[in-house]
A and B are shown apart, each in its own frame.
Chain A
Amino acid sequence: DVKVTQSSRYLVKRTGEKVFLECVQDMDHENMFWYRQDPGLGLRLIYFSYDVKMKEKGDIPEGYSVSREKKERFSLILESASTNQTSMYLCASTPFLPRASPDGYTFGSGTRLTVV
């Protein structure tokens, strides 16, 4: 069964800390994504990557960076965590076009991050 694994379900960090959220997929997918989900704002794309060492800014990249050193792993980094980064973070992956997969995107279970 295809899988996207996020390293933590719940995380509590202090303001100013450097935070790493890890995401690993075992499906050999080229594309990986980081979204955050907030009540009333829905899912918003932070960053995505279409290949190793490649990254593209999404709609809300400020305050975040990413790393993709290996195909299966896509890390989201909060350089200096702030309280407005308290949110649910969701990682997803998908095959590259033109193999438009009938299975859509595969999501991890999410990491609920609280910054205090």
Chain B
Amino acid sequence: SQQGEEDPQALSIQEGENATMNCSYKTSINNLQWYRQNSGRGLVHLILIRSNEREKHSGRLRVTLDTSKKSSSLLITASRAADTASYFCATVQGAQKLVFGQGTRLTINP
């Protein structure tokens, strides 16, 4: 079962621009996590935001969480070619079961 749904499915921008990806989920959460996956590789954890937090920063990443709308967004500022990857949101169901959305494919054009 898919808990998070990312929007858009694909995003293509120029290097230096900001990239925003959105995630919606259905049930109550303890935290929401964002991951990145380079083509053909495993997932790398980017950032975790707890349900009592509204915004969190890590380097060029900014994550927001709106629990009333059951949505989150990931903003990557000043994008670089190396940011080209798929980005997934994920929420924990039950005892540590992580459920992922379908992901957003981000392409940064040089």
Which residues of A does B touch, CB under 8 Å? 4, 6, 31, 33, 40, 42-43, 45, 48, 50, 58-59, 88, 90, 92, 94, 96-97, 100, 102-110, 112
Contact = CB atoms under 8 A, between A and B. Distances in A.
Contact size class for B?
20 to 34
Given A43-B88, A104-B33, A96 B42 contact: no
Interface string B60-87: 0000000000000000000000000000
A102 B48 contact: yes
B45 A59 contact: no
A94 B31 CA distance: 14
Contacts, number: 62
Contact of A107 (B31, B43, B95, B97): B43
Given A42-B101, A110-B40, A104 B45 contact: yes
A113 to B, nearest CB: 13
Contact of B30 (A31, A43, A94, A100): A100
Given A43-B100, A105-B43, A109-B42, 16 more contacts: A40-B102, A42-B102, A45-B98, A48-B97, A50-B95, A50-B96, A58-B97, A59-B1, A96-B96, A97-B96, A100-B31, A103-B48, A104-B33, A107-B43, A108-B42, A110-B42
B99 interface: yes
Interface in B1-34: 1-2, 30-31, 33
A105 B99 CA distance: 12
Contacts of A112: 40
